[in-house]
Amino acid sequence: MRLLLGFLFAFAVAAAFGLGLTQFALTRGTAFGAITIGAWTAWPKTGTADIDPYARAGIARTGELPVGSGDGVAFFTSSDEAGRTLDGRCTVTLSGTTPPARFWTITLYDLDGRLVANAANRFGFTSQEIARRADGSFEIVLSPRARPGNWLPTGGIDRYVVVLRLYDTPVGVATRTAKDAPMPAVTAGGCA
Amino acid sequence: MIRWALWLLGGLLLGGIVHLGSVLLLPRTATQDAYTRLAPFTPANTIVPVPAPTPDDAALPFMDPAFATAACRYDLAKGAMKLRVPVSQAYTSVSFYSRNGIAYYAINDRAAGRRVIELDLMTTQQRAELPDDEEVTAADRLIVESPTATGLILIRAFSPEPGLMTMARRALASAQCRPQS
């Protein structure tokens, strides 16, 4: 009887611990092959046949199709440089330059990968739509209310993900540092 | 007490195996993967435009709204496929995904270096069965090997600004994906 109880206990622990760990790993994302530059993280290997088992399980669960490495690379962020979570009720500034690429797009999603609804029906920018300074750098403001310049509406949702996709770019599996890939700074500002 | 600690330890070790097993098995049991999501409106072996994502509805999560997208859900069971994609003004890419959503090959207009991206898609076995001489004469033919018999091809044309989306969609309309022979 005690043996049976012991087995049941061990199996319960195994199921809870094992599946819990899987759930945790798949929702948090893993560090395998990740490139982190400032606030941004990319998983270039996810766009190749060398994809790691965690990312494989992740895309099977969400239904996402990762950007192929012959196409481009996607950088994600949901917090600023200081680690503060991006809040759609507050102002967030992206400023600086982007790594070399034929062009890039920047898009806002909710945590499930849906576009962020807003009255302006604007979900992102392409590199060709951006107004820049004389030196080629730019500033994009993410906020719930309209701003002059490059403004992306957050629709006032509480959490969101910014995805910067570089297309036809040398940035990829071999990229390591901000010197190869200067990403725009992410700064969370005041809340409305 | 010691006995329960040992049971706990055993449970944790077993949990590690459960974890690895579930991660490896998940792709086979997923019911919401990209292939399953696209299957209802994409007949096999033909190109179908994928509707542009909106906040309420998107065929797949994390789609880039700056692109016009078309998909070809392929099935190589009856033989190899031929893909022909005229490139658009701005940027065109073709990405190949296995049944489980693994991006095993992607090419863009610049890498293809022509006005039309032309590819042959086949399984490793079908490629091995190609007559030798044919492979020689077709040296300039780009052959892509699919790791699985079924999968997805995503053809995407860039629209630099919203006003050019119609043009990008039109460029994709002339792409072809059909069985060889």
Using the Cβ of A78 and the Cβ atoms of chain B, whether some distance falls under 8 Å is answered with no
Using the Cβ of B106 and the Cβ atoms of chain A, whether some distance falls under 8 Å is answered with yes
Using the Cβ of B15 and the Cβ atoms of chain A, whether some distance falls under 8 Å is answered with yes
Q: Give me the residues paired with residue A77 across strands.
A: A162
The nearest CA of chain B is from the CA of A81 a distance in Å of 23
The nearest CA of chain A is from the CA of B129 a distance in Å of 23
Using the Cβ of B163 and the Cβ atoms of chain A, whether some distance falls under 8 Å is answered with no
**Burial environment of residue A117 by CB neighbours within 10 A (0 to 12, 13 to 18, 19 or more):** middle
Using the Cβ of A130 and the Cβ atoms of chain B, whether some distance falls under 8 Å is answered with no
A167–B24 CB contact, under 8 Å: no
List all residues 6 or more positions away from A173 whose beta carbon is below 8 Å from its beta carbon. Answer: A33, A44, A45, A48, A69
pLDDT digits (tens, 9 = 90+) for A98-130: 999 999 999 999 999 999 999 889 999 999 999
**Burial environment of residue B145 by CB neighbours within 10 A (0 to 12, 13 to 18, 19 or more):** middle
A114–B55 CB contact, under 8 Å: yes
Compare CB distances from B103 to A11, A22, A48 and report the shortest one's residue: A48
The nearest CA of chain B is from the CA of A7 a distance in Å of 7
Residue A113 backbone phi and psi in degrees, to 5? 90, 15
Using the Cβ of B70 and the Cβ atoms of chain A, whether some distance falls under 8 Å is answered with no
pLDDT digits (tens, 9 = 90+) for A31-56: 778 889 999 999 999 989 889 888 99
Are the beta carbons of A11 and B11 closer than 8 angstroms?
yes
A70–B95 CB contact, under 8 Å: yes
Q: How far apart are CA A44 and CA A142, in angstroms?
A: 26
Contacts of B53 in chain A (CB under 8 A): 114-115
The nearest CA of chain B is from the CA of A144 a distance in Å of 16
Amino acid (one-letter) located at A29: G
Contacts of B158 in chain A (CB under 8 A): 103, 126, 167
A17–B11 CB contact, under 8 Å: yes
Integer-rounded Cα radius of gyration of chain A:
20
Compare CB distances from A61 to B8, B12, B26 and report the shortest one's residue: B26
The nearest CA of chain B is from the CA of A118 a distance in Å of 9
* Whole-complex ipTM: 0.87
Are the beta carbons of A41 and A77 closer than 8 angstroms?
yes
Cross-sheet strand order for the sheet of B116-123: B142-146, B116-123, B81-86, B176-179
Q: How far apart are CA B128 and CA A112, in angstroms?
A: 42
Q: Which two tokens stand for residue B135?
A: 């492979």
Of B52, B33, B53, nearest in space to B152 by CA: B33
Contacts of B106 in chain A (CB under 8 A): 47, 67-71
Per-residue pLDDT tens, chain B, 181 aa: give them.
888 899 999 999 999 999 999 989 888 888 889 999 999 999 989 999 999 999 998 999 999 999 999 999 999 998 899 999 988 888 999 999 999 999 999 998 888 877 888 889 999 888 888 876 665 555 567 889 999 999 999 999 999 988 899 999 998 999 999 998 7
SS3 labels along A81-109:
CCCCECCCCEEEEEEECCCCCCEEEEEEE
Q: How far apart are CA A102 and CA B90, in angstroms?
A: 10
Are the beta carbons of A6 and A48 closer than 8 angstroms?
no
The nearest CA of chain B is from the CA of A64 a distance in Å of 5
Are the beta carbons of A92 and A186 closer than 8 angstroms?
yes
Residue B6 or A177, more confident: B6
Using the Cβ of B89 and the Cβ atoms of chain A, whether some distance falls under 8 Å is answered with no
pLDDT digits (tens, 9 = 90+) for A160-170: 999 999 999 98
A9–B11 CB contact, under 8 Å: yes
Q: Residue B92 carries which DSSP code?
A: E
